[in-house]
A and B are shown apart, each in its own frame.
Chain A
């Protein structure tokens, strides 16, 4: 999809958005939810079949700016208190001998995914391209996948609906407008927990249901249309490299051949598809030969 087409779609969505009441939205959401999953999975074209999608994160290129986290929030409308794209940090030592490490995290799309094994309703499945897909309409919110995930990358939606644009408290008291004032001012009839982009790959999933779990899905709504996951797209340091491991010439495959990669908690045998190469810090040691 080229940019013009996409902008056109967005404009159409905006034109519809403010007129849509919650009730009509619920109706369309429910109607869409009735579409069989198989049809929905093929909705955006089945170009991912036979691929083994993976992400390589070059920690030496990573600057720890957090753009991936912000872009994920904005692309997927992730609620407060959750970070589908997150990070782990570690600070060691005392000044001036301090070492800081930064590792970006996301759902590892494991080949042997414990969440898929544990899900009692088959809401979590391995889909095209090896993406661990979650079907929001099938999820009952039991949290079993969240405890089974060794990486803590599955997030439970809060039991109360997402209210952000209806909140009456200002972000900075006596300084900024409250979210409710802002949405009134721009004339938006805000649907809580709405994720229009997700609707593109999973009809019925555009509505953020309360109480269910959600997680990173490699932005499958973008990947199915030939685009990159948004965190990859927006990384200013090009530290995230996305590609098909079944294609030996893909940038991801070539990097994995060139560098010794590691994955999170490899000893558990979950076979994550998110690889880390190189190091956040350059090698730093005194130029001596050691000694006994």
Chain B
């Protein structure tokens, strides 16, 4: 019986979507930068700008999250009122550690060189992963929402963060970067997008077998009100086109940048569909 006397507004609005996007982007950029700096030395120049941008992006994301609060000046209670069953409580811990590492890593790298920055970089890796993944676990705490109550969500969100992080690294690569390196980053991006599409496919298997509610959600995404955003923006523009462009043997630099922008748009559409769509379709 859906006819409530007074309908509720979605408590998680666009600011949460923006925060999820920026938080994932920051975590992805950090992880790519660390990998580029230490595990694949040739990629080092590509990682530098991503490392510099990562904490700045996270700061913007956290600011958006902060002003979303109804009582922003009580945010300190998040630290002192820790609730172990609350994913948001854990998220605050992860984000704080990640932010400190995210600031120290590029700062030390610029000041003393990459070797001096190794400690905060390595310490930050698990917390960047957790920061990118906990947002999915946060949504899992809503047992009534079919699209949210799904254990694939943290993986989906973390991978989305990685996609946007690599796309950002390609876009902000220093001028005159080695074309070979950029092509390699483009291939990483392509495979991450392929992986994401695979996760989405698995998600649809669970939706299709999730009884009438799951099928209703799948229908809304494939043929209903959210179909243009899902099929048109997330899957076609945000996944199929970038994969096709990046798979070409000699992708022109401009096309690669366009593919990276499209990948970012696709990840944003994914966040929007899960957060807003998940509350609308019930």
Closest CB-CB distance, A16 to chain B, in whole Å? Answer: 27
Cα–Cα distance between A121 and B77 once the two chains are bound (Å): 6
Residues of chain B within 8 A of A82, CB atoms compared: 6
Are B142 and A103 in contact, CB atoms less than 8 angstroms apart?
no
Residues of chain B within 8 A of A144, CB atoms compared: 11, 86, 88, 138, 141
Closest CB-CB distance, B73 to chain A, in whole Å? Answer: 9
Given contacts A139-B74, A146-B11, 4 further A-B contacts (CB under 8 A): A114-B142, A120-B92, A140-B77, A212-B70
Are B1 and A89 in contact, CB atoms less than 8 angstroms apart?
yes
Residues of chain A within 8 A of B10, CB atoms compared: 147
Cα–Cα distance between A277 and B3 once the two chains are bound (Å): 20
Are A120 and B8 in contact, CB atoms less than 8 angstroms apart?
no
Cα–Cα distance between A156 and B142 once the two chains are bound (Å): 17
Are B1 and A150 in contact, CB atoms less than 8 angstroms apart?
no
Q: Could you say which of B1, B11, B143, B279 contacts A103, with CB atoms under 8 Å apart?
A: B1
Which chain B residue lies CB-closest to A116? B85
Are A120 and B81 in contact, CB atoms less than 8 angstroms apart?
yes
Cα–Cα distance between A88 and B2 once the two chains are bound (Å): 7
Cα–Cα distance between A147 and B143 once the two chains are bound (Å): 9
27 intermolecular pairs with C-beta atoms under 8 Å apart: A69-B5, A82-B6, A87-B5, A88-B1, A89-B1, A90-B3, A118-B85, A119-B83, A120-B83, A121-B77, A123-B81, A140-B75, A140-B78, A141-B74, A142-B88, A143-B11, A143-B12, A147-B10, A148-B141, A148-B143, A150-B142, A150-B143, A150-B144, A150-B145, A211-B69, A211-B71, A268-B144
Closest CB-CB distance, B9 to chain A, in whole Å? Answer: 7
Which residues of chain B from 196 to 227 have a CB within 8 Å of any chain A CB?
Answer: none
Are A138 and B81 in contact, CB atoms less than 8 angstroms apart?
yes
Interface membership of chain B positions 1-30, coded 1 if the CB is closer than 8 angstroms to chain A and 0 otherwise:
111111011111000000000000000000
Are A152 and B78 in contact, CB atoms less than 8 angstroms apart?
no
Are B145 and A90 in contact, CB atoms less than 8 angstroms apart?
no
Closest CB-CB distance, B77 to chain A, in whole Å? Answer: 4
Closest CB-CB distance, B271 to chain A, in whole Å? Answer: 15
Chain B CB within 8 A of A83 CB: yes
Which chain A residue lies CB-closest to B148? A147
Cα–Cα distance between A150 and B145 once the two chains are bound (Å): 7
Also in contact, A140 and B4, with CB within 8 A (given A119-B86, A156-B9, A270-B143): no
Closest CB-CB distance, A155 to chain B, in whole Å? Answer: 7
Closest CB-CB distance, B60 to chain A, in whole Å? Answer: 18
Also in contact, A86 and B4, with CB within 8 A (given A123-B81, A142-B88, A146-B11): yes
B contacts, CB < 8 Å to A: 1-6, 8-12, 68-72, 74-75, 77-78, 81-83, 85-89, 92, 138-139, 141-145, 148, 279
Q: Could you say which of A114, A141, A147, A148 contacts B71, with CB atoms under 8 Å apart?
A: A141
Also in contact, A265 and B70, with CB within 8 A (given A117-B86, A155-B8): no
Q: Could you say which of B70, B77, B78 contacts A157, with CB atoms under 8 Å apart?
A: B70
Residues of chain A within 8 A of B138, CB atoms compared: 144
Residues of chain B within 8 A of A156, CB atoms compared: 9, 11, 70
Cα–Cα distance between A118 and B9 once the two chains are bound (Å): 19
Most B CB within 10 A of own CB, among A88, A101, A121: A121
Interface membership of chain A positions 109-130, coded 1 if the CB is closer than 8 angstroms to chain B and 0 otherwise:
0000010111111110000000
Are A209 and B144 in contact, CB atoms less than 8 angstroms apart?
no
Closest CB-CB distance, A86 to chain B, in whole Å? Answer: 5
Residues of chain A within 8 A of B88, CB atoms compared: 118, 120, 142, 144
Residues of chain B within 8 A of A147, CB atoms compared: 10-12, 139, 142, 145, 148, 279
Interface membership of chain A positions 195-234, coded 1 if the CB is closer than 8 angstroms to chain B and 0 otherwise:
0000000000000011111000000000000000000000
Residues of chain B within 8 A of A118, CB atoms compared: 85-88, 141-142
Please give me the 9 A-B residue pairs with the lowest Cβ-Cβ distance, nearest first.
A141-B70, A211-B70, A150-B144, A143-B11, A121-B81, A146-B11, A120-B88, A88-B1, A121-B77
Closest CB-CB distance, B96 to chain A, in whole Å? Answer: 13
